[in-house]
């Protein structure tokens, strides 16, 4: 039985109602609805974001048989991150064009304080165009919703770099990674990223062209800024690197297959 807002994932993964278990969305979860054979579909940073206190409490108490979605691989878990849940997902060859703009930031907020400090540091290197509500400095409207990916990717393809940390990169559940890194790579940009990244993600994304940092670590931010300067100086070489690993599409297909065949 499916519980909560799982319509999007039902369409993509061909989810069906199971008589022997209940799959709960993290949206609108109520512990009283637990059946004793329950799975939690995690798509949000339930350890940090407001409104998820009850579901996070149940998660911490081990009330679920397993977890699905933005989770790490492990016993009882089925990794199916947001970046793999796109109806129109397709890995393409890297986009190589003029890209005369330095960097973009496309977010609504910085509630987790993962963006502001790095934004301030990057601004000393070049102009960062912000078309979202956060630090908006250009009068254009870009639909950043993940269900309208084409417009977002076309917009980002003007930029060499994109600052794209997760909303929270600390004190979070293991495995929480969303669509942010994928969108930037599909646009052919160099991601400046803070968030989860494991061995499965590394089989999909080319980690050699991802600049990573931790939002609570000055040393990693210093290192990231130095990497931005180096990649900016050698951009004509860096831009030729494929954002994705050779068998990235196969890895994603395998991830989907494991999800569908999971014995829930």
129 with 234, same domain: the answer is yes
Q: Across the chain, what does the average pLDDT equal? A: 87
The pLDDT, as a whole number, for residue 13 is: 47
pLDDT at 12 over 80: no
Distance CA 214, CA 76 (A): 28
150 with 38, same domain: the answer is no
The domain boundary, picked from 46, 69, 92, lies at 69
Asked whether residue 223 is assigned to any structural domain, the reply reads yes
108 with 173, same domain: the answer is yes
Asked whether residue 247 is assigned to any structural domain, the reply reads no
Residues 224-246 pLDDT 10s:
999 999 999 999 999 999 999 99
Token match 């790095």: residue? 118
The pLDDT, as a whole number, for residue 164 is: 98
111 with 28, same domain: the answer is no
Asked whether residue 141 is assigned to any structural domain, the reply reads yes
Asked whether residue 263 is assigned to any structural domain, the reply reads no
- What confidence category does residue 142 fall into, taking pLDDT thresholds of 50, 70 and 90? confident
What is the domain extent for residue 179?
101-238
CA distances from residue 185 to 56, 134, 189, 242, 259 in whole angstroms, order as listed: 31, 21, 6, 9, 24
The pLDDT, as a whole number, for residue 20 is: 72
Asked whether residue 225 is assigned to any structural domain, the reply reads yes
| 8 Å CB contact between 127 and 175 | no
Q: How far is CA 78 from the centre of its chain?
A: 16
110 with 64, same domain: the answer is no
User: 3-state secondary structure string, the chain?
Assistant: CEECCCHHHHHHHCCCCCCCCEEEECCCCCHHHCCCCEEEEECCCCCCCCCCHHHHHHHHCCCCCEEEECCCCECCEEECCHHHCCCCCCCCCCCCCCCCEEEEECCCCCCCCCCHHHHHHHCCCCCEEECCCCCCCCCCCCCCCHHHHHHHHHHHCCEEEEECCCCCCCCCCCCCCCCHHHHHHHCCCEEEECCCCCHHHHCCECHHHCEECCCCCHHHHHHHHHHHHHHHHCHHHHCCCCCECCCHHHHHHHHHHHHHHCCC
Asked whether residue 244 is assigned to any structural domain, the reply reads no
7 with 125, same domain: the answer is no
Residues 186-236 pLDDT 10s:
999 999 999 999 999 999 999 999 999 999 999 999 999 999 999 999 999
117 with 188, same domain: the answer is yes
16 with 120, same domain: the answer is no
Distance CA 12, CA 129 (A): 33
Asked whether residue 261 is assigned to any structural domain, the reply reads no
CA distances from residue 91 to 3, 167, 221 in whole angstroms, order as listed: 31, 24, 29
The pLDDT, as a whole number, for residue 16 is: 45
106 with 234, same domain: the answer is yes
133 with 234, same domain: the answer is yes
108 with 221, same domain: the answer is yes
Asked whether residue 96 is assigned to any structural domain, the reply reads no
109 with 230, same domain: the answer is yes
Total structural domains within the chain: 2
Q: What is the mean pLDDT of residues 241-258?
A: 87
For the domain that residue 160 is a member of, what is the CATH number?
3.40.50.11660
């Amino acid at each position: 039985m499916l519980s909560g807002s799982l319509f999007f994932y039902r369409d993509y993964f061909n989810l069906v109602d199971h008589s022997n278990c209940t799959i709960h969305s993290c949206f609108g979860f109520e512990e009283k609805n637990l059946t004793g054979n329950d799975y939690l579909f995690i798509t949000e940073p339930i350890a940090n974001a407001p409104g998820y206190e009850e579901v996070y409490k149940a998660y911490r108490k081990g009330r679920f048989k397993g977890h699905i979605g933005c989770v790490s691989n492990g016993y009882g878990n089925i990794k199916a991150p947001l970046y793999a849940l796109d109806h129109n997902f397709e890995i393409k060859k890297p986009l190589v064009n003029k890209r005369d703009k330095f960097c973009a930031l496309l977010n609504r907020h910085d509630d987790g304080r993962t963006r502001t400090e790095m934004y301030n540091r990057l601004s000393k290197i070049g102009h960062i165009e912000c078309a979202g509500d956060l630090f908006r400095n250009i009068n254009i409207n870009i639909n950043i919703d993940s269900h309208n990916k084409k417009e977002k990717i076309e917009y980002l393809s003007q930029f060499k770099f994109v600052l794209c940390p997760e909303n929270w990169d600390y004190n979070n559940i293991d495995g929480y990674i969303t669509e942010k890194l994928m969108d930037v790579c599909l646009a052919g940009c160099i991601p400046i990223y803070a968030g989860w990244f494991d061995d499965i993600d590394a089989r999909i994304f080319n980690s050699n062209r991802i600049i990573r940092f931790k939002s609570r670590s000055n040393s990693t931010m210093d290192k990231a800024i130095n990497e931005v300067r180096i990649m900016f100086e050698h951009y004509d070489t860096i831009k030729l690197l494929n954002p994705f690993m050779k068998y990235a599409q196969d890895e994603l297909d395998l991830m989907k297959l494991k999800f569908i065949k999971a014995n829930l």
